[in-house]
Structure 1
Amino acid sequence: MPLSDDAEPDLNAAPPRLRVLGCIDGSLYSPSVAQQAAWAAARLGLPVELLQVLGRRSLPTSAADDDADPARAKLSADLAALESERTRLLRDRGRLDLEEAQVHAEAGGAPDATLTLCEGDLLESLARRETETAMVVIGKRGVAADYARGHLGSNLERVARASTRPLLVASRSFRTPRRMAIAFDAGPSAQKALESAAQSSLFAGLVCDVLAVGPETLESRRRLEAAASRLRAAGRVATPMLLQGQADVAIAEFVASEGVDLLLMGAYSHSRLRTLMLGSTTAELIRSCHVPLVLYR
């Protein structure tokens, strides 16, 4: 598939077909992003776009008159030449990153992924694609944090704050999900995750655990059973589980010990599962769970 550059949308064009958008950057997570985007696209019956955005970079400017200072003029010209060469090399590396990601997407069942390389800001590129994006896939860490255990990529936080689409946070390695869990606190975003689990073909056939954390009360048990019943009514196999302890620790331990392959949760809520960097529990779960997470707003 040939590479394309980013472009402003044609407002007179026909409505675009939805796609799964995988954001790569050449990090250790890029192969997994491509594979998980391909898996999601295959189950949703959608195409894949793999996107790499090279950040903008500008040379410092000076108020001095270069024409009056030959040494300064030569230095400015040399810097401009170096920056031009750096930009060329970054684009060459970006093309290689995308072509390598395409191989992983093809292995995951997406032979016709669109490859896009552009310069600018990632959030701006995502915003231009919002109307044609069904799901965004991004790695837990970026190239600058590949080996920083316990740290999350800055782009992940920015995208999680800004994206209105479900966000699949890719783990370091990919395995085909067979069992999923929902971190459920009955808040609006958790309800959105529950409805997606019930209705989306992405989750068809996956066994589901509905997880809540807190004391055993009639109300907490009622809400948990109602959530599981909603999934069963949609044909899902669902088991309610009320866990004890600190929310992020209890959920992460359940995911690891019970062989959960995929965790769904809201990116905002109003209880012990208050979220993201954006709140603590989601950030801790992304750090501690070695499985993909799907975040909903």
Structure 2
Amino acid sequence: MTSVMACIDGSPSAPAVCDYAAWASLRLDCPLSFLHVLDENRYPTSSNLSGNIGLGSREHLLEELAELDARRSKLALEEGRLMLEAAKKRALEKGISSPLLKQRHGDLAESLAALEDEIRLAVIGKQGDHANVGSQVGSHLESVLRTLSRPVLVTPNAFKHPESVMLAYDGRPTMDKAVQLIAGSPLFKGLPIHLVMVGADTNDAWEQLKLAKENLKAAGFDVQIAIRSGEVEPTLHAYQNEHAIDMVVMGAYSRSRIREFLVGSNTTKMLSTSRTPLLLLH
């Protein structure tokens, strides 16, 4: 059975990750799992320190360094276990019956890829516990979004119960799939949906929006549609602020890094500037 899988660490966003994951688990009526991954770059499973010891150094120095490295990894594992237990307690208080706890050693994106068959929705904080100073996006987030084909909910540092949703609609097949996914999922049932397209105000664009609107209305949603001109990121945020929208749904990174190098990535821009959760779909 698939689950909502929340990736937790020691970052300020961890409580919000727990709360949004619990919210999604209850809405989807599916299990909740918490995942903590011990970064192999910070806490390697084993170390060969012989190349770091100068000539003439004594053997016991090498042994002491290896023991220190082992103690650090052991403490980090224990810290992760305590984080998982705290997340479980928080989820139980939110009404989750039996949250599952998972701990892995390695790379976050690779760990999630290995667990992909178990994931219905991944939830991850915008900033990890060792994001670069000044960075607006966690160091592992882009690789997770590029690796994982499941929907990923990226959370801010504080939880707010979602009461409205905006789908950044661009007419691509990915967004038509997103409309079908929203229509068939209980995640947003009962919430108003705004379909917003940024681009030229043409008859073809309106026809695409109206078709998407009808699909959502047939599923019982209250839907508003709009076309706005301007640059994608600031225009979407302006509409979001104007209508006090709590969550944004949009396409994730394309598969082509070369294309994004040439034309830029709206995903990156939205991730960097958003103050509300983003649900990213492939």
Counterpart residue number, 2:223: 238
Paired amino acid for 1:18: T
Q: 1:279 to 1:64 in 2, by over 3 A?
A: closer
Deviations 1:16-53 (A, max 9, x none): x1111000111111111111111111111111110000
Describe the SS at the equivalent of 1:222. Answer: helix
Unpaired segments ≥5 residues, structure 1: 1-16
Query: Separation in 1 of the partners of 2:248 and 2:79?
Result: 33
Within the alignment, does 1:210 sit opposite 2:195 as a pair?
yes
Paired amino acid for 1:37: A
Match of 1:122 among 101, 104, 108: 108
Within the alignment, does 1:193 sit opposite 2:178 as a pair?
yes
* 8 Å CA contact retained: 1:213, 1:247: yes
Counterpart residue number, 1:257: 242
Query: Separation in 2 of the partners of 1:139 and 1:277?
Result: 28
Match of 1:53 among 37, 42, 46: 37
Paired amino acid for 1:23: C
Query: Separation in 2 of the partners of 1:180 and 1:42?
Result: 17
Shift of 1:264: 0.6
TM-score by length of structure 2 reads 0.90
TM-score by length of structure 1 reads 0.85
Deviations 1:94-128 (A, max 9, x none): 12222222233223332421112221222232122
Counterpart residue number, 2:85: 99
Q: 1:65 to 1:121 in 2, by over 3 A?
A: closer
Aligned residues: 275
Counterpart residue number, 2:204: 219
Query: CA RMSD, aligned part only?
Result: 2.5
> Identity over the aligned pairs, expressed in percent?
35
Q: 1:275 to 1:259 in 2, by over 3 A?
A: farther
Counterpart residue number, 2:5: 21
Q: 1:109 to 1:275 in 2, by over 3 A?
A: farther
* 8 Å CA contact retained: 1:267, 1:276: no
Unpaired segments ≥5 residues, structure 2: none
Query: Separation in 2 of the partners of 1:88 and 1:214?
Result: 53
Counterpart residue number, 2:23: 39
* 8 Å CA contact retained: 1:38, 1:105: yes
Q: 1:81 to 1:267 in 2, by over 3 A?
A: same
Counterpart residue number, 1:172: 157
Describe the SS at the equivalent of 2:227. Answer: strand
Query: Separation in 1 of the partners of 2:138 and 2:29?
Result: 29
Query: Separation in 2 of the partners of 1:23 and 1:249?
Result: 29
Counterpart residue number, 2:126: 140
Q: 1:222 to 1:63 in 2, by over 3 A?
A: closer
Query: Separation in 2 of the partners of 1:119 and 1:195?
Result: 36
Deviations 1:126-173 (A, max 9, x none): 12211121111111110113873x521121111100001111111211
Give runs of ≥4 in structure 1 deviating > 6 Å.
63-66, 274-278
Describe the SS at the equivalent of 2:162. Answer: coil
Paired amino acid for 1:87: S
Shift of 1:63: 6.2
Within the alignment, does 1:62 sit opposite 2:50 as a pair?
yes
